Amino acid sequence: MRKGLLLLSIVITGFSILFGGKYALDRKAAALTATQAFPAATVATAVAREASWDPALRIVGTLRSVDGTEITAQVAGNVTRIAFESGRRAQQGEVLVQLDDSTQVASLHANEARLAQARLDLARAHSLFGDHAISQQEFQKAQMNHDVVAAAVESDQAALRKLHITAPFSGVLGIREVSIGQYVSPGTGIVNLQRWDPMLLDFALPQEMIGQIAVGQKTFTPRSVLSR
């Protein structure tokens, strides 16, 4: 029993010494802190003035042509003439490549001769019909024959235009993709054509800046006046 009381007395004494020392140290630290002097804060001043703010935004984009296309053959045929050089400028309507048109030219000439005769027949029928020398049916037959031959001439001319491949707009030509004597089918690539005037700039812009830009705008308009 005595040993237990002695042990308990030793433990209580030890805790008292430990907490007493910590309390003394805390009081000493608090006293030092209370007497410690802190450095004075530095304050900077400036004269206030009014100034305009011209906001600017730097962007990185990609330039591309306003118009661009791959010129292709619309009908089949053999290339008989190449009228352009790779990399040069072409004007709208300029013939770039010609396909063999001998058969179509012969057909056009024949139909043009038939059309000339059909016009004479129609003029004569018109005169005779006015004199009541022929029936209305005969006059209509002459008119129909004239219209059919005229349509054949227009068809030949349209086919010839497809054999004469032209530039759809003015621009810069790319690398030639066909050769003299080559047989091309519909869809065969001839050359790439790009119009570089004007150029388009493809770029990304932060969403919060969209409201500050407009079509044709060169610079951002100041939105506010800053004071310093």
Residue 66 pLDDT class (50, 70, 90 cuts): confident
Strand, helix or coil for residue 100: coil
Residue 226 pLDDT class (50, 70, 90 cuts): very low
Give 3-33 pLDDT, tens digit per residue. Answer: 555 555 665 565 555 555 566 666 666 665 6
Strand, helix or coil for residue 86: coil
CA-to-CA distance for 99 and 184, rounded, in angstroms? 9
* Paired tokens of 205: 């812009």
Count other C-beta atoms under 10 Å from residue 193's C-beta: 23
Strand, helix or coil for residue 224: coil
Which residue is it, tokens 């006293």?
31
Give 174-223 pLDDT, tens digit per residue. Answer: 999 999 999 999 999 999 999 988 888 888 888 877 777 777 776 544 44
The mean pLDDT of the chain is 82
Residue 164 vs residue 21, higher pLDDT: 164
3-state helix, strand, coil in the chain (%, to 5): 45, 25, 35
Q: Cβ neighbours of residue 150 under 8 Å, at least 6 residues apart?
A: 115, 118
pLDDT at 185: 94
pLDDT at 224: 38
Strand, helix or coil for residue 26: helix
Q: Against a cut of 0.75, is the pTM above it?
A: no
